[in-house]
Amino acid sequence: MEVEPLYGGIEAGGTKFICAIGSGPDDIRAEERFPTTSPAETIGRAVAFFRRWQEAGGPALSAIGIASFGPLDADPASPTFGYITVPPKPGWANTDFAGAVQRALNLPAAFDTDVNAAALAEWRWGAGRGLHTLVYLTVGTGIGGGAIVHGRLLHGLAHPEMGHMRIPHDRERDPFPGVCPYHGDCLEGLAAGPALEARWGQPAESLPPDHPAWELEANYLALGLMNLVYALAPQRIILGGGVMEQSHLFPRIRQKLLQLFKGYVANPALLQDMERYILPPALGQRAGVLGAIALAQQTHLSGGK
């Protein structure tokens, strides 16, 4: 019987790390979570988790995948590949994350953003299976997006920053200036969880479904999605993150997006099929750590390219 390769995954979030060993959603053999503190301590705990597996004689790992908060350098040709670059998280600037893991465990280490990894996992095992071009957008503490284009994660100058798109902002309807420290009223500044909380004076999760916050929210997200549809022509858009736990947002966003198209899309079948076009993630909370495993698998199967 052919033995399926086994991988390590690290989901590195701003508040917690999740480490796992496995080969996919139905095969997670070990898992551990701990809070994010300093780089040395937190990366050290992750390394220790995989070392224990190795020392206990568990089946060998073929690669480690790291799905991290950013901004980060995921370009294998860059001298600072594997680094977290200039994050809002104190103490983590210029951290050689992937290099530290790779040297400590002597294994190839794949490295990408948490949202790119989640896009990869949803494509591989979740709501994007069978497609070649899709977008995964998370609406949580920030807004971030990853795209699979022709079966590969989209990387260019760096990873995309879809949350910082500009969208029309009608200041008569919504005088709130936005919370993005760089742009004020970009998509993230207007529609991420902290923007909802600052605009309405209460946490997003406590706003009832009939609160006017949600019509505005659906409007902003639909404007952002319209730009993504027109720019990337994804075959599907998957919307995750804490704010999208408000499941009533899905029908509202679909309806607003239809209105915004005004009948103009290159594939008119889309206009009849919005329920299958805008979807929640199938992997839910597990998309991050499974994404890390998917990154490791991708690196292993491509021979490190």
In Å, how far are 24, 179, 255, 263 from 133, measured between CA atoms? 21, 31, 22, 22
Q: What is the dihedral of CA 47, 50, 51, 54, to 10 degrees?
A: -160
- Judged by CB under 6 A, the chain residues 191 through 210 that form the site for ligand ADP are 193-194, 197, 203-205
Q: How far is the CB of 303 from ligand ADP (least distance, A)?
A: 32
Among 23, 42, 95, 246, binds ligand ADP (CB under 6 A): 246
Cα 224 off chain centre by: 16
Q: Which residues contact 26 (CB under 8 A, 6 or more apart)?
A: none
**Cβ closest to ligand ADP, residue 53 vs residue 69:** 69
- Judged by CB under 5 A, the chain residues 60 through 99 that form the site for Zn ion are none
Tell which residue, 211, 204, 216, has the closest CA to residue 168: 216
Distance CA 50, CA 244 (A): 33
Q: How far is the CB of 153 from ligand ADP (least distance, A)?
A: 19
- Judged by CB under 6 A, the chain residues 224 through 243 that form the site for ligand ADP are 241-243
Q: Does residue number 36 form part of the binding site for ligand ADP (CB under 6 A)? A: no
- Contact 99/72 with Cβ under 8 angstroms? no
Distance CA 140, CA 191 (A): 9
Cα 130 off chain centre by: 19
Among 47, 109, 147, 180, binds Zn ion (CB under 5 A): 180
- Judged by CB under 5 A, the chain residues 149 through 168 that form the site for Zn ion are 164
164 binds, among ligand ADP, Zn ion, none (CB under 5 to 8 A by kind): Zn ion
Distance CA 233, CA 147 (A): 10
How many residues bind ligand ADP (CB under 6 A)? The answer is: 14
Q: Does residue number 141 form part of the binding site for ligand ADP (CB under 6 A)? A: yes
Q: Does residue number 140 form part of the binding site for ligand ADP (CB under 6 A)? A: yes
183 binds, among Zn ion, ligand ADP, none (CB under 5 to 8 A by kind): Zn ion
- Please count the residues of the chain: 305
Q: Does residue number 113 form part of the binding site for ligand ADP (CB under 6 A)? A: no
147 binds, among ligand ADP, Zn ion, none (CB under 5 to 8 A by kind): none
Among 64, 186, 225, 294, binds Zn ion (CB under 5 A): 186
